[in-house]
Chain A
């Protein structure tokens, strides 16, 4: 079946690292994505990883993929107030190239 699961909330202190986790069920996923939704806005692609990779780093963002456990994580180093948003994990299924499946989103809040 097609299912992407995330915890709904995460609170971190400014300057600490944030780690947002996601699990997915379809082993034929080809690409896995992280999208960010700021208040009052639509979703924007933050980063993505191809399923044959274990890790991808982009400035403060690190994506880790454990294909065996079907677990994806997004680490944000030195979290800032501007990182407050909802973060959506998503997968593309091999069987349907036009279809991206999203999770429910994790709301990241930053405390001083």
Chain B
């Protein structure tokens, strides 16, 4: 138990569906992240929220839309996805200014399959 909870753990959706992934952290952190994990590829940073403001958006297609209503919750809204978007989506949290030897705490991930 890392203190970061992701739901759902598994999601299958069609290309025309709209769904959302949810992440909640109970660690009192003030930065939250979405990463995409695909087989044989580097873990890809998608979005970073620090103190509830988006500070990173790494050229992610607009069919992925993040939302951070408060420092404990993070959502990833999914709309008209493509089969190549199938992957494990990992949420993480940390104290802001993670560069000072900070540690990322990860959830167990949401396995997304797009048909």
Contacts and interface: CB of A to CB of B under 8 A. Distances in A.
Contacts of A4: 42
Contact of B55 (A42, A98, A101, A103): A98
Contacts of A97: 97-100
Interface stretch (B59-67, B69-77, B79-87, B106-114): B106-114
A104 B55 contact: no
Given A31-B99, A42-B4, A98 B56 contact: yes
Chain A, interface size category, equals 20 to 34
Interface in A27-75: 30-31, 35, 40-45, 48, 50
A30 B100 CA distance: 8
Given A92-B98, A98-B48, A98-B56, A8 B40 contact: yes
8 shortest A-B CB distances, which residue pairs? Answer: A42-B106, A97-B99, A102-B43, A43-B106, A45-B103, A92-B99, A104-B42, A42-B108
Interface of B: 2, 4, 31, 35, 40-43, 45, 48, 50, 55-56, 90, 92, 96-101, 103-104, 106-109
